Amino acid sequence: ENMAHDLKRMDLAKPETSILELAGALEQEFGCSPVAGGVAALRLREIAGSFARLAVRFRFDLPPYYALVLRTLVTLEGIALEADPNFRLLAAAHPVVISVALRTARKPATSAMVRDLLINQDGGLQWDRIRQLATVAQTSPNARPGGENMK
């Protein structure tokens, strides 16, 4: 349901879109097939396909550059998979995404996203997710000594 609210806050989902209906569709597309290793283990192509089905069904207002960027990333993932069949673009991108999110956390939407990512419903830290992010960051080619990532 959080993601459904996020899509509306980002003005991708139309104002008249039912949050419950969108949340149900998101759960159907993304929540019914647990993946070992979490989201980072998924292929971007799979996520893009699911998102495209939702975009058509709910008539998302997608700026043209969203499709261009997504197509570019899916193509890059395909090239990387030719070189290394075990490559996981989302796992490789996690440290960079978290770094950017934390640097721009002055924006309310970004702060909410980081909070949702790291804090559970009871207000406690999601230690499994933090460990997973730390593991991914540690193995990232962009990781630098002292905990600094790409700037």
| Per-residue pLDDT of the chain in tens (151 residues, 90 and over written 9) | 678 888 888 888 888 999 999 999 988 887 654 445 565 667 888 888 988 999 999 999 888 888 899 899 999 999 999 999 988 887 777 777 766 766 666 667 667 777 777 777 777 777 877 777 777 666 655 555 454 444 4
Helix (H, G, I), strand (E, B) or coil at 125: strand
Write down the pLDDT at residue 55. Answer: 92
C-alpha to C-alpha distance for 43 and 107, rounded to whole angstroms: 29
Give the three-class secondary structure for 81: helix
> Could you tell me the end-to-end alpha-carbon distance of the chain, in angstroms, rounded to an integer?
32
For tokens 């796992």, name the residue. 91
Q: Model-level pTM?
A: 0.58
User: For residues 42 and 35, is the Cβ–Cβ distance under 8 A?
Assistant: yes
The structure tokens 């043209």 sit at 64
Looking at residue 68, its amino acid is L
